[in-house]
Amino acid sequence: MPDLHEENTSLVDQNSNNKILDPRGRYLRWVAMIFMCFLPFGAYYCDDNPAGLQDVMKEDLKISSSTFTSFYSWYSWPNVIMSAVGGVLIDKWLGVARGATIFCSIVVVGQLVFGVGGFFRLIWVMNIGRFIFGVGSESLSSAQSAYAVSWFLGKQLNFVFGLQLSFSRVASLINLNTIRPIYDSLDSHISGPKRIGVTLLIAASTCIFSLGCALIL
């Protein structure tokens, strides 16, 4: 006769595994929440790269204050409409998973273009990079909210929204405390625009990390 104790133990283990992997269960939801919080991490980190490098960026690129502030203008202009457009695209055509991956990819491309433009001291290329970055960044926030709504309900949803907002502020804070040390740590033979460009390209790694989170979700 089969060992009833072993069968019961096997059933308990199977049920435990099913609970962990069940999308409706609490375990997988909270794991997913971690990836949701890191989804726009790279975008928020790189958004304030210019602020963390303001003095050296103006000096190395030999640009005026108005040219420097244009980096934020080019980032902001597409967001006048893209936040709403991104939400519509996610709801009607792309879906949350595909939309998050596409918008994360756009953020990566934008930051890479921004860094390459800085490396070669091509301000117009840097502006294009910031524009591309802006197209993906705020739309990515729409995808993050859509993920939260699809995984959580009620009071949990309010907590998740608050946690996501906190993570975005943490990303900006980390940028302001790390981007300048990254610039300072580069070898002395890398100077001027090249040093700015390399720093911005290193920062792009955070966007690639967020893209990885989008692919996992």
13 in any annotated domain: no
134 in any annotated domain: yes
Q: Give the C-alpha separation, 138 to 86, whole Å.
A: 8
9 in any annotated domain: no
57 in any annotated domain: yes
Q: What percent of the chain has pLDDT over 70?
A: 88
Q: Give the C-alpha separation, 202 to 46, whole Å.
A: 10
| Chain segment 77-110, per-residue pLDDT in tens | 988 888 788 889 998 999 999 999 999 999 999 9
Helical ranges in the chain per DSSP H = 4-21, 26-38, 41-47, 49-52, 54-60, 65-76, 79-89, 96-119, 123-151, 154-185, 193-216
CATH assignment at residue 196: 1.20.1250.20
Mean pLDDT computed over every residue of the chain: 88
65 in any annotated domain: yes
| Chain segment 137-165, per-residue pLDDT in tens | 988 988 999 999 988 887 888 899 999 99
Q: Give the C-alpha separation, 207 to 112, whole Å.
A: 10
Tokens of 188: 């002395």
When mean pLDDT is compared across 14-23, 80-89, 155-164, 170-179, the lowest value belongs to 14-23
Considering only residues 152 and 200, tell me which one the structure prediction assigns the higher pLDDT. Answer: 200
Domains held by the chain: number: 1
The parent domain of residue 59 ranges over 49-216
* pLDDT of res. 21: 52
131 in any annotated domain: yes
| Residue 56 pLDDT greater than 80, yes or no | yes
119 in any annotated domain: yes
16 in any annotated domain: no
Q: Give the C-alpha separation, 73 to 95, whole Å.
A: 29
| Chain segment 103-135, per-residue pLDDT in tens | 999 999 999 999 999 999 999 999 999 999 999
